[in-house]
Copies of this chain bind each other. A is one copy, B any other.
Amino acid sequence: MNRIKQLFGIQYPIIQAGMIWCSGWELASAVSNAGGLGILGAGSMYPEVLRDQIKKCQAATNKPFAVNVPLLYPSIEEHMQTIVELGVPIVFTSAGNPKTWTQHLKSNGIQVVHVVSSVKFALKAQAAGVDAVVAEGFEAGGHNGREETTTLCLIPTVADSLDVPVIAAGGIGDARAVLAAFALGAEGVQVGSRFVATPESSAHQAFKDEVVAAGEGATRLSLKALTPVRLLDNAFAREVLAAENDGKTVEELQALLGRGRAKKGMFEGDLDAGELEIGQVSSLIDEVKPAGQIVAELVAGYQAMTKGMEDPRFQWA
């Protein structure tokens, strides 16, 4: 039995990443209703917005869904209280120390998954008592690890080192990458960028169009001195790069980034002055399509490959 399906009580171990400004109740409920696990991205929500989003998601699906909470979120106590109070069954945590909240959530009957980018932090998450980890590679959009380990190299080392199941993330946008992730030792996949380009995503239409248009080499890992983040190339990203090359201090970089840039880009559609977080796999995304269709295509493609290992391409050993 696949442990991720069992753990979450879902039909397919396909998880939609909880992405700031892109994943509200419409996207999360669509993915959960399609048999995967939808996630609300609480990192871009005020406490009252999260409360409202959870209620709307509960009204839109009777399947399990989760909330992603960045552990550095300023009003995290309020978020966690809302999550417990409203009976959210699963929480994904990221960007912080998993020791701080894991036991509190577990003692309230909530399953906890922590996002990591190295074996070192995967072991810390396991020691903190998480039920699973998401191991996310260098090609992923948004926040990223300092070691720059790619999904292909990260998943086997994490899977070899942990007892809890591993969910692969970074570079997964079609069924080929899903099978690759399972071959590497994952028991689930977390898909981000592909779900940005859906009608249900709360990303601005201009950002969705930009993700569809993105080609090879369109993203770059930036802000390495501050906290590495993969951005789509635009005027803002080039401004950040120039500031880094000019040897600006961490404080100057923080001032340039500000808190409003991500909202401006991804939610308000300012493609020049806004911050656009997306993964390398955007080069493979060439249309906006419904989230449920994406889940169905990932499952059907995976089935065709695993049942069809008679495909001559696989027959050489």
Contacts and interface: CB of A to CB of B under 8 A. Distances in A.
Interface string A221-248: 1000000000000000000000000000
Contact of A280 (B12, B153, B172, B284): B153
A155 B182 CA distance: 17
A216 interface: yes
Contact of A170 (B152, B172, B185): B152
Contact of A2 (B171, B307, B313): B313
A150 B152 contact: yes
A220 interface: yes
A187 interface: yes
A253 interface: no
Given A119-B216, A176-B185, A284 B316 contact: no
B150 A139 contact: yes
Interface string A7-49: 0000011000000000000000000000000000000000000
A156 interface: yes
B176 A12 contact: no
B146 A171 contact: no
A119 to B, nearest CB: 5
Contacts of A13: 316
Interface string A178-220: 0111111101000000000000000000000000000011001
A152 B152 contact: yes
A153 B5 contact: no
B139 A153 contact: yes
Contact of A184 (B147, B180, B303): B180
16 contacts: A12-B316, A13-B316, A138-B138, A138-B150, A139-B150, A139-B153, A147-B217, A148-B217, A148-B221, A153-B283, A153-B284, A156-B177, A176-B184, A179-B183, A180-B183, A183-B183
Contacts of A217: 118, 146-149
B182 A177 contact: no
A134 to B, nearest CB: 15
Interface string A122-155: 0000000000000001110000001111111100
A172 B180 CA distance: 12
Contact of A309 (B12, B300, B306): B306
A315 interface: yes
Nearest to A215: B119
B315 A2 contact: yes
A120 B215 CA distance: 11
A317 interface: yes
A302 B317 CA distance: 7
Nearest to A161: B216
Contacts of A299: 317
Contacts of A179: 179-180, 183
A192 to B, nearest CB: 13
A229 to B, nearest CB: 14
